[in-house]
Copies of this chain bind each other. A is one copy, B any other.
Amino acid sequence: MVTIKEIAKMAKVSTATVSYVLNDPSRVSEETREKVMKVVKKLNYNPNSIAKSLKIKKTNTIGIITEDVTVFTAPEIIDGIEEYAENHNYHIILNNIRLFKRIGNKYKDTAKFSKVIADVTNVLASRRVEGIIYVGAHCRDVTGVIGDLSIPVAYTYCYTTNNGAIAVNYDDEAAAYRITEYLIEKKHQKIAIITGLLDSMQCQDRLKGYQRALYERNLLFNPQYMKVGDWERESGYQAAKELLSLPDPPTAIFAMNDLMAGGVIDAANEAGIRIPEALSLVGFDNRECSYSYTPKLTTMALPLNEMGKVCAQKLLDRINNPGEDRQETEQIKLECELIERDSVAVNRRV
């Protein structure tokens, strides 16, 4: 690998001059500049950014820690981060901790979890990344798992109330409100909901949005129309079966994710109930499968790419404007987007 020294010798100048030619050409005379550049090109010189980083104490690198890259939300988030970072001349070191393969489900073993995180943050710190983005896999609360670092940290697709952290998520309540409102606009009044696991924030927030939408339109929340699922297709199927066999069944179902909406379709098919003619259905997440159901599912798209971008943007802001010590968590919530497809029709049975 050719170094600045060899360039200097060959061009009969000092290394300083070469460096100036490369970084601050106006300081150097036209003549020398050309002389040096000729050698640079001839030797196909590629500056050693390791050496540069060491000297200027800047790596232009951020670390991404993903709980699991193979989860459906991760790629878009990473894409967003990467794009913003690249446009601002930052690079990314990727750490995928494979949380579930490694420590089993549910974040149960918090000691091991913390250990894993400590290991990767240590490595990132020793590589002198200027900031870290933590990408969750299941929107769990990860407050405290990353201890105090001297660099900014942004969290996305997970919750945190860490001091000074940036937390970028989407607005579950607003999204659930919007999609319920949408069903109401389609003249539905008997709108059932199939929830995910009740102990999750997502579920709680979506429930709030659903209830608020009903309330504001003077529709009563009917507890019979609420079934608790576990995010999996089968639970959607079971819930829908119960809902559809009610004496006064709903005309629309809001499943809190696309998987459970798939189960609703199964149940409807089985019962010979046509979607959307006899039953309207909406999902949540805009996963790949939602597009491949028959009928294509109307659902809420998560602003994943945007979440990545905003994470990167806020993080780089912090990095480049190291201001006052912040105590609060900067909570950012982005809007979801309603994706209208074929699973909702205007209710004709009012």
Contact = CB atoms under 8 A, between A and B. Distances in A.
Interface of A: 1, 46-51, 53-54, 59, 61, 64, 68-70, 72, 74-76, 78-79, 82-83, 86, 91-96, 98, 122-123, 125-128, 150, 233, 259, 262, 265-266, 269, 287-289, 291-294
A253 B150 CA distance: 59
Contacts of A79: 68-70, 96, 98
Contact of A289 (B47, B64, B92, B289): B289
Contact of A96 (B78, B95, B289, B291): B78
A96 B294 CA distance: 33
The 4 closest A-B pairs by CB, nearest first: A289-B292, A94-B94, A82-B96, A70-B75
Given A82-B94, A96-B82, A269-B294, A74 B72 contact: no
A25 B42 CA distance: 45
A93 B92 contact: yes
A292 B92 CA distance: 34
Contacts of A49: 126-128
B59 A70 contact: no
A288 B70 CA distance: 11
B294 A50 contact: no
Contacts of A93: 61, 91-94
Contact of A126 (B46, B82, B289): B46
A126 B265 contact: no
Contacts of A259: 292
5 contacts: A64-B94, A69-B78, A83-B96, A266-B294, A289-B289
Contacts of A292: 233, 259, 262, 289, 292-293
Name the residue among A54, A98, A126, A292 with the largest chain B CB count within 10 angstroms.
A292
A235 to B, nearest CB: 15
Contacts of A53: 50
